[in-house]
């Protein structure tokens, strides 16, 4: 496709970093509320994507002054089932990993556009990177075995190939102009 779309990939990739954090907050809020009410049995089946809209003011125990402390508190809380606490940790990990890779992607898109890489190449790399990030997040959030953790790592390094390819291609184009 000749239409320049790669700059639009930046907010899409940002969404892939924000979404796990949003899910983590919703899950943390619900788990704390249920676990400390002792009225419902907490199980992983209770949690779905719709929980991200759970209202903060309707729950207890969430520390919005120091939100980064909530995961540690939740993991250490004996009222929280271990599998739920581990899922919250994985959601946080997916979010942090997305924050680590986002600047690399932004730089690659800007460098590629500035150097004049074709729109077709930029768009293909953008789609590839976005797909790799969605797959990475899915596996990271849902894996519970060592073998799937290796798949997560493979997806991460596969995804890194897209921005690196754009940087090298942009560098080659700029070098040839000199």
pLDDT digits 0-9 by tens, 145-163: 999 999 999 999 999 999 9
Fold of 7-177: 1.20.120
| More confident: 52 or 28 | 28
Identify the band that residue 4 occupies on the pLDDT scale cut at 50, 70 and 90: very high
* 108 has pLDDT over 70: yes
Q: Which two tokens stand for residue 83?
A: 């599998």
In the chain, where are the structural domains located?
7-177
How far is Cα 137 from Cα 20, in angstroms, rounded to an integer? 8
pLDDT digits 0-9 by tens, 36-56: 665 444 444 445 434 433 444
* 132 has pLDDT over 80: yes
| More confident: 101 or 69 | 101
């Amino acid at each position: 496709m000749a239409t320049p779309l790669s700059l639009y990939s930046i907010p899409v990739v940002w969404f892939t970093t924000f979404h796990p954090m949003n899910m983590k907050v919703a899950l943390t809020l619900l788990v704390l509320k249920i676990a400390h009410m002792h009225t419902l049995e907490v199980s992983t089946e209770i949690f779905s994507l719709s929980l991200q809209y759970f209202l903060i003011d309707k729950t207890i125990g969430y520390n919005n002054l120091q939100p980064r402390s909530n995961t540690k508190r939740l993991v250490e809380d004996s009222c929280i089932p271990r599998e739920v606490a581990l899922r919250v940790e994985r959601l946080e990990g997916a979010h942090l990993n997305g924050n680590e890779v986002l600047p690399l992607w932004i730089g690659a898109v800007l460098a590629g556009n500035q150097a004049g890489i074709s729109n077709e190449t930029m768009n293909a790399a953008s789609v590839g990177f976005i797909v790799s990030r969605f797959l990475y997040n899915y596996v990271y959030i849902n894996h519970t075995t060592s073998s799937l953790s290796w798949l997560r790592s493979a997806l991460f390094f596969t995804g890194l190939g897209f921005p690196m390819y754009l940087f090298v291609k942009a560098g080659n184009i700029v070098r040839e102009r000199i």
